[in-house]
Structure 1
């Protein structure tokens, strides 16, 4: 495939991904205290909440900025100063919590600080002088499009932690926090900037009052090597994070990710009659049953959407798999007749689920169908009940 065709293909993918939701900083945690960020829905409140996050009343679509000469690049489109402050000491860290971030929107995460005098709530944003205090870019370019700081943010529950340098003097400042999405950056003007601004009141014993810096409209140009590039081809071996250099005492590099095992621990269901495993995006329950036991109810802690069952059968057993859009799977394997010996899957060591003892139908010497009802609750909070019916060589699973 030629490079032009490759670029066109990626351009189409980038266009499709651009319609997905983009995040905003919805919460700020400092000194163990949480404060709300600004949300565009506040514009419909009368009066709107007073928060430290800068308002973005025009950003109901949570869009991006790509004009580096526009005042919109400073704190987002149409942004006006926040009405309060987040209190933090120099040397302490702030956690910035995003609502969501698309995995396809790879790029760097950058933080700046600008002094705003006595009052950040009424400052002229075009006169703010920004100093870079934190940056992270490409972790690994192979395989393309690589692993980026934005992926670290997603792995850390859509949050980013920035440390205020201990050298910063007490005073009031504007924190400019930004993700630059590079999925369309192979064309001039294709990079997408998502800046968010928050008012800070810094305490401590530092002496740097940040009397100099770079205006927001001068931080980048459309031709910067960290702004105009392809993250798809050729494979990147390094990346130049755009913007001015870090000031002394600042931080750089990837943030530690939340381990998958830690996420699974809090979400994995556990009962004495089933074996289940879960991560932040999936869960499974394997059930092996014999139709000659008392009934039981399985209630894992992970939620399931309403299932759509599919059934396959062979001469020895019948297997039914229930799959949902959240990739949660429930598999039930049942011996077709009561005369068959009990079996336990030694690979998974799953204990069998007790079922009711078959009772012959009136006037009949054959074994009547038996059933059991189970309720499975998945990660998203929606319980699903289903009933299993066993009748001779047939096994069916239907939502209750």
Structure 2
């Protein structure tokens, strides 16, 4: 009887550990204005600009329809106000109630945008055409992923392109955790969609060749998604998906996390257009020259 109870306890503990080792977007701040999201265990979601997903577990597989905005993502009732050049802070948390910190530290942070047909609060993003506005891999030290700063509850900073034409847009924030990506299908995708109305009077946007669909942007065997040598430095990391849209950085077609300046004193990662302008490589590699910290690995 005692052994049976012990087995039941260990099974429950393993299940709790598995559930608590994932996460979601809990809050978005736009130019200082805070927009709260909903926890995953609420009965009646409060109005938000963040599309609520049904689970904190990752999306698995590049052909999964949930790769678009997350598993069972619901339309949000609110739309956040932004402008070209607006600064967004996106807070990723762990668990289901947001009381835990983000648990993973290995893999890129990327942000896409897509124009909504009408208000984003009623827009079905199934066939949305996404363009990339930022990508972050390794910090300048070449040994720490920007994702690692999230484990201390730092937000991810991203800038709305300063020349983006006004309109209604979804912002798709994505984390790809690579700790299990040594075999095809092992990568863990965490997408989240944020509903925006962008003002201003700018006129630029992506070309059709810089846009893609989700699913469709990735393959399970793409470099950067299938990463058999992720823990065997030195390596070259190649971001999956299209390059950062050329209008975002004034002509540069790529951006690297390792080219970006180090996070601020709060540890937040940055995705500004100036960082993207600094990157000049064609393959968008991130050189890793030291052993990655295993802090927060799950």
Q: TM-score, structure 1 length as denominator? A: 0.55
Query: What does residue 120 of structure 1 align with?
Result: 120
Paired residue secondary structure (1:223): coil
Query: What does residue 81 of structure 1 align with?
Result: 75
Query: What does residue 97 of structure 2 align with?
Result: none
Return the alpha-carbon distance in structure 2 between the equivalents of residues 127 and 192 of structure 1: 22
Paired residue secondary structure (1:25): strand
> Can you give the 5+ residue segments of structure 2 that lack an aligned partner in the other structure?
1-14, 94-100, 250-254, 268-298
Indicate if the aligned counterparts of 1:140 and 1:237 stay in contact, CA closer than 8 A: no
Return the alpha-carbon distance in structure 2 between the equivalents of residues 64 and 185 of structure 1: 13
Deviation at 1:231, TM superposition (A): 4.9
Structure-2 change in CA distance of 1:73 and 1:260 (3 Å): closer
Return the alpha-carbon distance in structure 1 between the equivalents of residues 77 and 261 of structure 2: 30
> Can you give the 5+ residue segments of structure 1 that lack an aligned partner in the other structure?
1-14, 262-400
Query: What does residue 30 of structure 1 align with?
Result: 30
Paired residue secondary structure (2:215): helix
Query: What does residue 70 of structure 1 align with?
Result: 64
Deviation at 1:236, TM superposition (A): 3.4
Query: What does residue 102 of structure 2 align with?
Result: 101
Return the alpha-carbon distance in structure 1 between the equivalents of residues 64 and 18 of structure 2: 21
Structure-2 change in CA distance of 1:122 and 1:109 (3 Å): same
Query: What does residue 248 of structure 2 align with?
Result: 249
Structure-2 change in CA distance of 1:49 and 1:67 (3 Å): same
Larger mean CA deviation between 133-142 and 170-179 belongs to 133-142
Paired residue secondary structure (1:162): strand
Higher Rg: 1
Deviation at 1:117, TM superposition (A): 2.2
Paired residue secondary structure (2:235): coil
Structure-2 change in CA distance of 1:67 and 1:89 (3 Å): same
1:196 aligns with 2:197: no
Q: TM-score, structure 2 length as denominator? A: 0.72
Count of aligned positions: 236
RMSD between superposed Cα atoms in Å: 2.5
If asked which structure has higher relative contact order (CA below 8 Å, sep 6+), I would say 2
Return the alpha-carbon distance in structure 2 between the equivalents of residues 131 and 39 of structure 1: 28
1:160 aligns with 2:156: yes
Paired residue secondary structure (1:256): coil
Deviation at 1:216, TM superposition (A): 1.2
Deviation at 1:255, TM superposition (A): 5.6
Deviation at 1:139, TM superposition (A): 3.3
1:187 aligns with 2:187: no
Deviation at 1:19, TM superposition (A): 5.0
Return the alpha-carbon distance in structure 2 between the equivalents of residues 84 and 24 of structure 1: 18
Deviation at 1:71, TM superposition (A): 1.6
**Which structure has more strand as a fraction of its residues?**
1
